[in-house]
Every structure is written in C-alpha cells, then in structure tokens.
Structure 1
Amino acid sequence: MSAEEISVESSSAQGSGVETLPIETLDLGWLSLAPSTLVFIVLGLTLAGFIWGRFRYDLVAMAALLGSVMLGLVPAEGAFAGFGHPAVITVAAVLILSRGFERSGVVDIIAHQALKVGENLLLQLLVLVGTVVLLSGIMNNVGALALLLPVAMRMAREHDTSPSILFMPLAFGSLLGGLTTLIGTPPNIIISSYRRDVTGEAFSMFSFSPVGIVVALAGLAFIVLVGWRLTPRRNSQVSTSDMFDTANYLIELKVGEESKAKGLTLQQVRDELDETVPVLAVVRDDNRRAGYNFHGALEEGDILLLEAGPDELQTLEDKLGLSAIAEREEVTDDAELLANEENADGNADKEPSQGHQPVDTEGLQLVEAVVRNDSMMINRSVRQLRLNHQFGLHLVAVARDGGRLKQRLRDIRFKNGDVLLLQGGEKEISDSLASLGCLPLASRELHLGQPRKLAMSIAIFGLAIIAMLFDLLPAAVAMSSAALISLLIGVLPLREGYQAIDGPVIVLLAAMIPVGEALETSGGADLIANGLLRFGSDWPVVLTLIGLFLLSTLLSNVVNNAAAALLMAPIAVSLANGFDVSLDPFLMVVAVSASCAFLTPIGHQSNTLVLGPGGYRFGDYWKLGLPLSLVVLTVSIPMILWVWPL
C-alpha cells in the first residue's frame, strides 16, 4: 500500500489531538483506489443498506464506521469519539426532557384543550397540526406525534372523520415543527455543531427560528387549506371492532366431558396446540375471568371466549375436543357483558354483524399498538419475543397495510408500522408496550399531571434556554444539566429517563459522525462540490442552493434525516468555499431540506408510525408530500437568503 498524506485540521469532535490524518491509497496491484473512492464505496454500500432495510439503520451505520476504520479512512483511536460528540449528547438530553414534559402533564393540558374542537374539519386540522408543530419545536418529533395520535384518533371517532385525513398531516406537522428551534430535530443540532467545528461558533437556540417559523406556518396553512384534500379517504380503521373485525372472529368453545382440554391450564392448551391461542376470557358459573388472569385448570362446562378463524376452530375441535357453541343461549348474560362500551356510546344504532356482540375492550384490557421503527419486535416472532411469559401479553391479531393478516400468529414476523391487538393486565400493559417499543393507539384518559412537577419542568427548561441564549453554557451542557436536574428532583423516574433515550438514533449519530468527517478529510466532499460547481458555474448561486435542497431532500427520504444532514454538511461547506460566499445559507438549506422527509413512509419515524393506523400505502405519501416539499422549497430559499445573506 502506498501512503498518501492528507493534511487536515484536528476535529474537535474527535478530540484525538492528531494534526495530520494519514489516509492511504489501497493498492492491490491491479486495483488502486484513492481515499475519496473508498469513502464513496463505503457510503454507497451504507445508503444501499439503509434503503434495503433488512438490517436496522444503527447496525448499518456501525458497519460503515468499522469498515471505514479497517480501510484507514477513520483513525482507530477516534473511531468512537462520536459517542461523546456534543450533538449526540444534546439529542439524548432532549429525548429525556421530552419524556419529562409528557410525564409532568405539560402536553396533556394542550391535548385536553384540543379535544374541545367542534365538527369543523378545517378547525380540527388547524388545532391538531398546529399543536404538534408547537410541541415539536421543544421536544422530540416522534414524541410529540405519539402524544397527539390518541387525541386525533378520539377526535376521528367522535366526529365520524376518516383518520387517514388527520394522521398524515399530523405526521408532516411534527416534521415542520422541528425546523423552528435548535433542539427541534437532530439535523438542526448536527448543523449547529458542524458550524462550530468549522467556524468556532455554533448556531444558537433560536437561530433557526426566523426561517423555521415562516416555513412551518406556510406548511401549516397549505396542509389545512389544501393539502388534506390530497390524502386518501380510507374507512376508519382505528377502532378494535373496525380494523380487526373482532366480533366476526369471536368464538365460544365449551369444555365437554370428553374434551382433552379438561384439566389443562391455558398454557398447557397452548403447548398442546403448538400455537399462540388468544383466549380472551374463561366463563365459569356465570363468572367471567380475563384469559391473561386465568391460571387454574379447565373444568367441564367452562366456556372459552377466544379469537379464531375457521382453520383454528377446526384444530381446536380435532386436537382438544372443544365444541363450538352454535347459539349463545348458555352465555346470554355474558354476551351482554361483552357489549362494546364504544358501541354503546357512539354507535348504539348499528347492528353487530352476524349477531355477535363486539368485544368489551375495557373489561378484557385489549389495546391497539403500532410497532415503532426502533422496536425490538421487528423481524421477530411471538415465540422469539416470549410475549406471554416475559411481557404478560397475548397477541390477538395483527394488521398490516390497513388490513388484518390472516396467517397464523406464530408465523408472523413483525414489521415497523404493524398494528397489533394485544391483551394484558391493565397495570402492566403500559410498561410492557414501552419495553417492546410499541406506541399505544387506543383512546386513553388524559391527565393533568402534578402541578408541582409541571411548574418545575417548565422552570428547568426555561433556565436551560436562558443559559443557551446568553452563551452561559453550550447547548449540550445546558440540555444535559436540565435533564439531570429533572431526574434528580423526580420529574421523571430514572428508569424512564433511560428508556426515553432512543438507542438506535444515538448509535446512528455516533457512528456516522466519523464517517461524515472521512467524506471531508478524504477529499470526497470537495470532489462532489467541484462537480456541482463545474456543472453550475454559469448559474446564479441561488440555483445551486435549490439543487442542494433537492439533493438533500431526496437523501432524507431514503435514509434517516440525521444521516442525511451528516453527509450533506461537508458538501454544503465545500460549495460555499467554492463560491467564496458565506457558508451559513448553505448549512441552513441542509438543515431545512434534511427534515423534509415527506415523500415516503420510511423517510422518518413519524411517517412510519401513521402508516398502519391510517391505512396508507407506500405511494400515498408523495401525493401530499411532493407539493408540501415544493412549498417548503419556495418559502425557505428566499427566507434563508434574507436572514442569512451570501
């Protein structure tokens, strides 16, 4: 291997103290590759891994980092310096503070007021999307969306509105809100830290606000007045009885004198069938007990209320001798107990299909939940997860792409965006869903939190903002101090604080920061910038900014927005240097465009979270996302050039 010495300034992010970074040309005799070529190969494979989606993005990012180290693109002693980078620390602290806001009741107060909106659809959209825009400016985008989704769901049910009209605008609103402040979204934090590394001065808390607020308001106006008309009208698929059609699959089986199930526990029944059987309730002597809470042996005359299709019903009869009850005479009283509370409140005039009563979701502790992008359930089955033994949950049904999956439950490998119908203990189900990485979608009672913790939470956050505004503390130190104080005084329990930190995002950022620096130090960023400069040398700088916006937007729609910002920041600086103009407008363009992941459901976690509950398809997103992206482009470029002139 022939060495090629490339001199660069030591990055404060690496902190290695090395003034020159030796990067060698890979020479295999017949094949000689320059460092920039190696970086392009690594990044190309990384992007392919992100798009493929077979492995989670944090694993792909870590593979890119280790590959860069082995190729000599990243020094081994600085390989993991990204885990201590201020941008990574700031993101982790903001995640903790976001959970603290939720716990203290700050957000619930706003959500409680949002539920008072009347039947006017435009007003519903204005309140919902406007609220999520506001919240996303001070907390994690996904966290803000997660808090408003149950509100939107309840609003859709109460006013007979298709949830597909509300959910996509809500997801896009969470992305728009992140543009307004430094801590609103990881790309802003990354761009601010990158500016500090290059110029010695970072963007402040509200440096993004003049452009971000105008863009967010323009996007909000477009969504409320025009954009919602571009979303698909799908039938309501957000309630248990609608999405999963539970009543049509509710089967009552009786334990007879000769039944093999007689004397077996429910767990032994599952073992005998080699299948996950979602027994919702066991009826004995007119007393009903939830299946998850029934631990004794079955007796003659017991009635099992469970979810099963024709194939499962035949298996239960053949293997266990359980006979289906054709008529409901023996359980008339119990069937009345199973009347759906929601149906009684809002749909009392509707006849249950096929004579069956809908399931009582409250009495049986049934809950709908969507699988998040970072969930431990992804690509794993019920058995691998040990849902029943380890988490105390029974899987009743799974919906994907707006429709119920008909295959056997044990054969299903979960995907992000899947909507699950689960049964579990009322007290334990919330913790179990949080551990699994699922977002509950069922309507929940809003609470106002504890006034003392509410006041302390706001005061702590306000002091952190003041410290940042007056340059008393760097953003990472101010936010970390606020997070620490919140944990110490009990605004948020320590266990929940650790759970709030999105591990995959932290690993992604920490791994991609050195790789992004390798793009710059190897000369790769300059090569890309020089190519763009040659291509557009006769164009006005504003056209180059538009090209940079479009390139970054496309990238953010196929990879994580933080990764897009990390990769595009060096290119933006190289372009600014090539034009010999201020780098601020170029960095701001990257900050805005990296958050414009409106075209695909995989561009951002917010988009994925509404995919299943809204019944959307992959191709639905661009119909609203493309015109919204053009609105952001049209508004942001003039605003950036006005606030941050060349």
Structure 2
Amino acid sequence: MTWDQISILGLLSVTVVMFIWNRWRYDVVAGIALLAAIYLGIVDVDRAFAGFSHPAVITVACVLVISKALQNSGLVDIFLRVLAGARRSATSQIAANCGIVGCLSAFMNNIGALALMLPVTIRDAKKAKRRASKILMPLSFASLLGGLVTMIGTPPNIIIATIRQENLGQPFGMFDFAPVGLAVAVCGLLYIVTIGWRLIPVNGQEEAQDDRFQIARYLTEVRVTEGSLLINSTVGGLEKICENEVTVMAIIRHKRNRLAPSTAEKILEHDVLILQGDSESLQPLFASPGLVQVGDGDDDADKDAASDLLQSEEFKVVEVVIMPNSMMEGVMMRDLRLHDRYGINLLAVSRQGSTPMFRLARIRFRIGDVLLLQGADKTMEQTVSALGCMVLFSKARAFAIRTKSYVTPGVFALGIAAAAFGLVPVQIAFATTCVALILLKAVKLRDAYRSIEWPIIILLGCLIPIGEALHTTGATELISNGILSVAFDIPLWFLIALLIVVSMLLSDLIHNSPTAVLMAPLALSLAEAMQISPDPLLMAVAIGAASAYLTPIGHQSNTLVMGPGGYNFGDYWRMGLPLDIVIVSVAVPMILWVW
C-alpha cells in the first residue's frame, strides 16, 4: 500500500466520521477535506477547484432554479382542487398526496417537490381532522422515491450519470434510470400507502394543529396608569426589562391599534399593551407601580382587545417552517433581532411537535422548527422568504403565488426534450432553460440565486476531486481487490445487493451526494476487476445513495418534516427499514434484468 493510498483512505475515514458527528455543516467538512487532500499531495493544485465546473454541479444548480420556477407557477392551486376529493379516508389522502409529490420529484428537486406539497398536505390534514404525523413522513419518503425515475430527479442520479460519461465516454440518458427507478418507486409507494403509514408511532406529544402553540394562554393585556415607570419609556426598553422574553404585540391608544410597534415606539399613560410571554417572563413588569392587568378589570372593550386584534386585516399571524439553508439555521433568537431588523415578532416555537422547555431567547433554531410569526400583512411574505422559511399556515388569508403557470412547465418540457434526444448535453439544456425562465420573468433573478442550495454546490465541488483521487491513487482498486479476494466467487446479485445496502447506510448517516461521489469509483473498480459492465453496479449505487429512510439527517426532506410532523429521531426507521427491504428486493432483480 502506497503513501497516497494510505492518505486518501485515512482522509476519507476521518471525513465520514466528521459527517456523522455533524459538529460542523457538511459543506464545511467537505472544504476541510479538500484542503487536507491538497496539502497531503493527493489532489493536484491545478485540479483543486475543477469540481465546481463539473457537469453534475452545474446540472444540480440548474435543477434547483427550475424547481423554484415550478413552485411559482401556480401548481399549488391546481393540486388543491385535485386533492379536495381525496380526504374521505387516510389511505386515499396519503395515496393522492404521495402520488403527486412522487411525480413532481421525478422532474424537480426533491425538496422543491416536498415544499410545494407540504402546505397543501397540512391544510388537507387540518380539514380532514387527521394527525399530520401520519401523512408527512410518507410525503417525504415519496419525494425520495420519485427522484429515482429520471436522471434529474435526485443529485445521486446526476452524479452517477456524469461519472459514467467521464469513464465510459457516454452518460446515462434522461430516462435510463426509469426501468429500475419506476419499478422501485411504484412498489415503494404501494408499501407506503397500504402498510407503511400504519407503522408510524403515535407521538403523544403531537397536538392538533390549532393547539400546537396555545398562544392565548401567553397573551396578557395591561394598562399603563398614572405614575407607572414605563411612561415615556420605549417598547425596546420594556422588552429589555423582561430580558427580551416578552413581545409587545400591539399598543391600543385612543381606540386605535398600533400593531407590531417598533422598538423606538414610546409608551404613554393610559396605553393598553398586548403582551406575549409566559408568566415568569412577565413578572418584572408587574413589579412596576401604575401597571394593571386589563383582564382583571371591568372595561369589556379592552378586555377583548387581543381577540379582536387576531382578526384584524392588518395583523397577520403565520405559521412557518425553517427550510434547509435558511439564514436562521443554527442562530439564536436574540442574535437575529427579528423585531429590530424585520419588524416581526416571534410568538412561539414548536420543535418535533411540542413547545421547547427552554426560554425563547436561548433557542438555537434548526431546520424543521415551526415558528409562529406576527407582523404587518404588507411585508410578511417578503420577510418570510428573506428568512428562508416557508409558510405552512396563515391565520389570515393564504399567500398567493403566481406567475406564468403554463409558460414554466412548457419551457421546462423543451429543456427535458433537448436533453433526452441528445441535442445538447443536459447541463447546457438546463442552463438554457434557466436563462429562458429568468428572461420570461417566470422566476426573479434574486429568487433564482436564493433557490440554489449553495452548501450542496460547495459539497459537490469539494468532494468530486477527492472522488477522482480515489481512482487515480489506486485506492478503489485496492478496496475492490480486497473484496474479491475475500469472496472470489461472489454472485453478481449479491454484489449488487451489497452495493445498494452499503450506499443506503452511508446515505442515512452522511448525505446522498457524497455517498454517490465516494461509492461510484468503487463500483467502477469492482466492474473492472470482475471484467463486467459497470452499468449494473453504478445503477445499484444510484438506487442506494438516493434511499435515505432510516434517519431524519440522511436527507433534508426527512429533516424538513420532523418539526411539522412532531417526529422523534427513532421514528423514521420503523417505516423506513421495511421500505429499504422492499427497495432491495425489487431493485436487485430489476437491475439484473434491465442491465
């Protein structure tokens, strides 16, 4: 074993451990790994950043932009009408929602398809009075299954296709994944609809959607009377007295409402303040002389002020979920200063279906956290988008989406056709599609940049040179020879099953993209050592890398539904493990038959 082989295998081992440890985000880990590979002499300096020009990276970025345009195309309204009749039973509702998200994810990013259907599904669950937990995990799994069908359905397929082109001169085509992927997706969806959703444990912490936050018990109305120390102080000063654990939702002054007042707003005598916060946080206020609680008084008009405000046309309370790569991820509430910067108030946080037991100001936000935000109607949608969140439910009118409902799918279809018929390479076809959609104003340029998951792009750009180094140093040949020496007469079906299972396990622990980057060279080396076509082995890696069903961290779709569904970490394997067995059982014979 040479020094380069020892170095690359040691570096990869440390990298995988860091991915699993999850102390730093995966793009940071990938960047550290690339720099380490350069300093160790495994990756040439001239090739260090060649991964960012790789066709797989360009294609993934373009698919993300196209997914954003599809989200803006008004498809939600169409789905609402189609799904209205599917609420009669849980099975029909799950079948309809999963079928649609599966079809969408075959042609757009998995998370984009899930984000498109998540508000629709939650709204349907509310109307049918069903637990969201029984529907959201199946929806996430269906988004992953649908991605197996086409080359652009999931990043592992794109990576495998381009790696095949680099090594064999010809990539997998747009629909080369369909024979195996469609069979796996159909069987997986049948399992989810008939058996899978019944295996999801009933979480005792999950509450009905309307009662998730129980805001009413945290609303307090107080009147500022003569002699109060709060007179002529500011809203920001009041919140500071309560260590920023209390929010001033509104000031009622001379029968006029000042909603979500700024921190510079002065508090005057006779003001009625509507405050949100738990009883412990409010205690410093009641130590102030001249402050009385309206709820204990006899002014009926003021007594119902909070209730009236919640129905105000200007006052909007929205329920949002933190999306992957949101600016809020990993940040504490006090550091965001939502009120100062954006003029909105954070009323409550729900994590895994229950309210965290620690104080709001100390919460460090995570992907999938559900937040209740209050602010002005005019700016709320723009603010939610800037924060990287998605509206799940609005207590006022739903936000409207809409642009170019027919233009976007039409332009996208032309791009798919150009790639499928080999007129231009897929990355060129989709880059052209993106430019066309921007020129046609189907997606704003600002939204196009925001829609690209830059951590994924960094991850791929950094790991692709390391994946190439596995081959150039001979490490993959060393591993494949070791496998074959232990099991020289290993049958092909067993090898395919082994590649699928190993890729599945890696994908559950790290991420599907690095799994594909690291496992594809091994598949090529095994095929060369056995003197067989690499296609069945590459297809096995593609299926396994895209199948992360055992944990919420394997794929961002699983992470995204964790909060709204109220799931625990250990809930996923209950439905995911049998699904993995179904996938292996279907994929192995299909790969042998087709490839």
Two-structure CA RMSD over aligned residues (Å) = 2.2
Kindly indicate whether the alpha-carbon contact (under 8 Å) linking 2:131 and 2:208 is maintained by their aligned counterparts in 1: no
Task: State whether structure 2 residue 315 is matched by structure 1 residue 364.
Answer: yes
Moved more, 211-220 or 428-437: 428-437
- In the alignment, what sits opposite 1:621? 572
Of the three residues 229, 252, 256, the one matched with 1:260 is: 229
Per the alignment, in what secondary structure is the counterpart of residue 179 of structure 2? helix
Q: Deviations over 1:528-547 (max 9, x none)?
A: 22222223222211101111
Aligned to 1:22: none
- The corresponding residue for 2:428 is 477
Aligned partner of 1:148: which letter? Answer: M
Alignment-mate amino acid for residue 476 of structure 1: Q
Amino acid in structure 1 at the alignment position of 2:173: S
Matched, 1:630 2:573: no
Q: Could you tell me the percent identity over the aligned residues?
A: 42
How far the C-alpha of 1:328 sits from its partner, in A, is 6.2
Equivalent residues in 2 for 1:473-552 (5 A)? 473-552=424-503
Give CA deviations for 1:476-515 in whole Å, capped at 9, x if unaligned: 0000000011101211111111111111111111111111
Q: Which residue does the alignment assign to 1:206?
A: 175
Question: Which one of the candidate residues 398, 410, 433 is aligned to 1:445?
Answer: 398
Distance 1:328 1:606, change over 3 A: farther
After TM superposition, the structure 1 = structure 2 runs for residues 289-308 of structure 1, keeping only pairs within 5 Å, are 289-292=258-261, 296-308=265-277
Per the TM alignment, residue 636 of structure 1 is displaced from its structure 2 partner at its CA by 1.0
Going from structure 1 to structure 2, the CA distance change for 1:529 and 1:597 (only over 3 Å counts) comes to same
With normalisation by structure 1, the TM-score equals 0.87
Q: Give the C-alpha shift of residue 78 in structure 1.
A: 1.1
Of the candidates 593, 605, 612, which is equivalent to residue 556 of structure 2?
605
Q: Say which SS state the counterpart of residue 184 (structure 1) adopts.
A: coil
Distance in 2 (CA, whole Å) between partners of 1:116 and 1:235 is: 29
Counterpart in 2 of 1:349?
Answer: none
* Corresponding residue of 1:355: none
Residue 528 of structure 2 aligns to a residue in which SS?
Answer: helix
Contact 1:558 1:602 in 2 (8 A): yes
Distance 1:637 1:108 in 2: 39
Other-structure match for 2:535: 584
2: distance between equivalents of 1:417 and 1:386?
20
Q: Distance in 2 between matches of 1:603 and 1:320?
A: 55
1:278 and 2:229 aligned:
no
For residue 248 of structure 1, report the CA deviation from its aligned partner.
Answer: 1.7
| Match of residue 330, structure 1, among 294, 299, 308 | 299
Cα pair distance change 1:632/1:446, threshold 3 Å: farther
Q: Distance in 2 between matches of 1:437 and 1:330?
A: 42
What pairs with 1:239-254 in structure 2 (closer than 5 Å)? 241-254=210-223
What are the Cα deviations for residues 214-240 of structure 1, in whole angstroms up to 9, with x where unaligned? Answer: 111111111011101001224695766
Equivalence for 2:116: 147
Q: Aligned partners of 2:105 and 2:313: how far apart in 1?
A: 31
* 1:221 partner amino acid: L
2:410 corresponds to: 459
Out of 46, 53, 56, the position equivalent to 1:84 is 53
User: Which of 536, 541, 559 is matched with 2:510 structurally?
Assistant: 559
What CA deviation, in whole Å up to 9, does each residue of 1:282-320 have, x standing for no partner?
222333332246864222222222221121111222368
- Shift of residue 393, structure 1, vs aligned partner: 2.5
SS of match in other structure, 2:372: strand
Secondary structure of the structure 2 residue equivalent to 1:104: coil
The 1:437–1:49 alpha-carbon spacing in structure 2 relative to 1, beyond 3 Å, is farther
Is 1:417 matched with 2:386?
no
Structure 1 moving runs of 4+ over 6 Å: none
TM superposition score normalised by structure 2? 0.95
- The change in CA–CA distance for 1:403 and 1:322 in structure 2 (over 3 A counts) is farther
**Cα distance in 1 for residues equivalent to 2:100 and 2:401:** 17
C-alpha change, 1:504 and 1:329, in structure 2 (3 Å) is: farther
Distance 1:360 1:573 in 2: 62
Amino acid at match of 2:398: E
Q: Is the 8 A contact 2:484 2:490 kept in 1?
A: no
Q: Per-residue CA shift, 1:7-56, capped at 9, x if unaligned?
A: xxxxxxxxxxxxxxxxxx9xxxxxxx721111122112211221122211
Cross-structure match for 2:20: 51
**Gap runs ≥5 in structure 1:** 1-24, 26-32, 341-358
Please give the alpha-carbon distance, in whole angstroms, between the structure 1 residues aligned to 2:342 and 2:591: 50
* Cα pair distance change 1:339/1:554, threshold 3 Å: farther
Q: Partners in 2 of 1:427 and 1:92 — Cα distance?
A: 31
- Asked if 1 retains the 8 angstrom alpha-carbon contact of 2:149 and 2:185, the reply is yes
Query: Contact 2:316 / 2:374 at 8 angstroms: preserved in 1?
Result: yes
Are residues 1:163 and 2:116 paired? no
Q: Is the 8 A contact 1:280 1:364 kept in 2?
A: no
| Residue identity in the other structure for 1:68 | A
Offset of residue 362 of structure 1? 6.9
Q: Secondary structure at the match of 1:100?
A: helix
What residue number does 1:288 align with?
257
Mapped partners of 1:263, 1:411: distance in 2: 29
Matching residue's letter, 1:534: S
**Partner of residue 95 from structure 1, selected from 32, 48, 64:** 64
Residue in structure 2 matched with residue 5 of structure 1 by the alignment: none
> Following the alignment from structure 1 to structure 2, what is the Cα–Cα distance between the partners of residues 320 and 399?
35
Runs (5+) with no aligned partner, structure 2: none
SS of the residue 1:233 aligns to = coil
Q: Secondary structure at the match of 2:92?
A: helix
Partner of 2:381: 430
| Contact preservation (8 Å) 1:286, 1:334 | no
Once the two structures are superposed, residues 584-631 of structure 1 have per-residue CA deviations (whole angstroms, 9 ceiling, x without a partner) of 010011111111100000010000011111111000000000001111
Aligned to 1:373: 324
In structure 2, the partner of 1:230 is: 199
1:397 corresponding residue in structure 2: 348
In 1: Cα distance, 2:212 partner to 2:20 partner: 29
- 1:371–1:439 Cα contact (<8 Å) kept: yes
Cα distance in 2, alignment partners of residues 405 and 120 from structure 1? 32
